[in-house]
Chains A and B, each alone.
Chain A
Amino acid sequence: MKEVATNYVPQNWYLLLSTFLFCVGIMGVLFRRNAIIIMMCIELMLNSVNLLLVAFSAYSGNSDGQVFVFFIMVVAAAEVAVGLALLVSIYRNVASTDINVLNKLKW
């Protein structure tokens, strides 16, 4: 029993890891100009939150958090499908996915 108790992963480490991943995602959104990479960084942020939800759900012995993660994945998949379709149709019009080109709502 003692051997098991000294060998578990502390809850804090998951907090640290997912905080770091979230900040990497935010940095990517601020850092890049390609709209596709920005969407990928948003996925990274969603995943860091998912990881934290699963960690808390596993450590508290309650499976509600894992069901929420399932729904977050569903919404993320829908978001990516629509977002990439939008990007493809934008690319057809302006031949670029650079967000500095996409600063007009109408022209």
Chain B
Amino acid sequence: MSQYLFFTLSILTIISALYVVFSRNPMHSVLSLIFCFFTIAGHYVLLNAQFLAIVHIIVYAGAIMVLFLFTVMLLNLNKETEPHKTNWIKIAAVIAAGMLFLVLIASLKSTELGPFHLPYRSTIGFVQNIGIKLFTDYLLPFEVSSILFMSAMIGAVMLAKKEK
């Protein structure tokens, strides 16, 4: 059962990720990236990481992709204004990425994976356990990340403001 779910989700993820790259309309790219993020959230649920699945949907689909979507709409990007590289560069890009994939797969073939626990039996991804970890061991990074967010927000507003 979980294998079929994994296959279905993986195929959807791969197709939507490829569509992000190959789509000619930037709007379609954004929408298929949103779909890709939803399928990745499905993978998190499959791995029993409920907290991260929800955070992933809220942060990525709810905040980041809405930001992308509004920027694409604001700049009025569409099929006609979309710049394209020459065919040679496109072929070179595909070949380069394929070679990187081959190299990584070749190096992964010699890896030895350690003993594992079945992920759908564990409760480590639940909100309670992640929350305990976040507010005891990782309290300082958690607070520092709030400062990072604050400065990013102020910086974004300052950058996007019209100059006088």
Given A33-B83, A67-B134, A75-B148, check contact A88 B29 (CB 8 Å). no
A23 and B100 within 8 A (CB): yes
Main SS at interface, chain A: helix
Given A62-B124, A80-B68, A84-B68, check contact A40 B20 (CB 8 Å). yes
- Bound Cα distance from A75 to B144, whole angstroms: 11
* CB-nearest residue of chain A to B10: A17
Q: Which of B48, B89, B108, B156 contacts A84 (CB 8 A)?
A: B156
Q: Which of B97, B141, B160 contacts A88 (CB 8 A)?
A: B160
Inter-chain residue pair count (beta carbon < 8 A): 227
Q: How extensive is the interface on chain A, given as a class?
A: 35 or more
Q: What are the interface flags for B1-44 relative to A under an 8 Å C-beta threshold, 1 for contact and 0 otherwise?
A: 11100100010011001101100001001100100110010011
For residue B98, which residues in chain A have a CB less than 8 angstroms away from its CB? 23
Least CB distance, B53 to chain A, in whole angstroms: 9
- Bound Cα distance from A20 to B71, whole angstroms: 28
B67 and A84 within 8 A (CB): yes
B117 and A59 within 8 A (CB): yes
For residue B125, which residues in chain A have a CB less than 8 angstroms away from its CB? 54, 57-58, 63, 66
Least CB distance, A1 to chain B, in whole angstroms: 10
* CB-nearest residue of chain A to B98: A23
24 contacts between A and B (CB under 8 A): A9-B6, A19-B101, A23-B100, A28-B20, A28-B21, A31-B94, A36-B72, A40-B20, A44-B36, A51-B40, A51-B43, A63-B124, A73-B60, A74-B149, A75-B145, A79-B152, A80-B68, A82-B155, A85-B155, A85-B159, A85-B160, A86-B159, A87-B75, A88-B71
